[in-house]
A = this chain, B = another copy of it.
Amino acid sequence: MSDGSTFSAHSFSAHAWGRNLPTYEAIRTMPFNDALAAGTLSPEQFRHYMIQDAHYLIAFGRALAIAAGKADDPDGLVQFAEAAKVAVVVERSLHADFFESFGVSGDEFARTPMSPVCHHYSSFLIATAHAEPYPVALAALLPCFWIYAEIGRDILGRAVRPNPYDAWIDTYAGEEFHEAVRAVIATTDRAAAAASPGELTRMHAAYRHATQLEWMFWDSAWRLADWPV
């Protein structure tokens, strides 16, 4: 989607993608993603990533539900209520599939608190969904959808196969996910087209923060980061 084909040149999404391209490129070329594509990522790093992602997805689902409750039309209410449900369904499949394959017990998950960056990103999405108008909430939620779709396809295109992380790679490169992502981009662009100049400024700030937090989330897994105190 990064070729611009899914959005008009003057849309919010086109501007936001363009402005944050260096951060996207930094994510795409992170050691974590290189190692994932090469199949050389350590199971310990992948476990850290998965556990934090499971925590994150519940918070992402909550923020999506709050955004659904503020939707500017019934279609948006259905779209984001469904997305909230899907976030939890994906979290459950992490539990059922990856946690088992990579030896994370339910007990280990329950004992492992959110990492600082997971707590940061989760807090940011929930704060924005509650405190900000609908268009700004969508702008905060969009990078998680869009960057995963792009990274999924990018890794798919260069992954060494078979790869211990095949199942993960196939999830985010799949057409079903990409279709949902295109719909989120379209709704965000419609909301942006109806937003005030002040809201548009806050949409760009929210989008940028979420993009930075995506980089920080992967970086945190690579470093197996924990709370400093």
Contacts and interface: CB of A to CB of B under 8 A. Distances in A.
Contacts of A161: none
- Taking the full assembly, how many copies of this chain does it contain? 4
Interface in A73-118: 74, 77-78, 80-82, 84-85, 88-89, 91-92, 116
Contacts of A16: none
Contacts of A170: none
B66 A62 contact: no
Given A74-B58, A81-B84, A84-B77, A69 B212 contact: no
A186 interface: no
Interface stretch (A7-15, A38-46, A128-136, A141-149): A128-136
Interface in A196-210: 196-199, 209
Nearest to A132: B133
A67 to B, nearest CB: 8
B85 A62 contact: no
What band does the interface of chain A fall in when counting residues whose beta carbon is under 8 Å from B? 35 or more
20 contacts: A23-B229, A58-B74, A62-B68, A63-B69, A65-B84, A68-B68, A69-B84, A69-B129, A69-B131, A74-B91, A81-B84, A116-B120, A119-B124, A120-B120, A123-B123, A130-B131, A133-B133, A194-B197, A215-B229, A216-B228
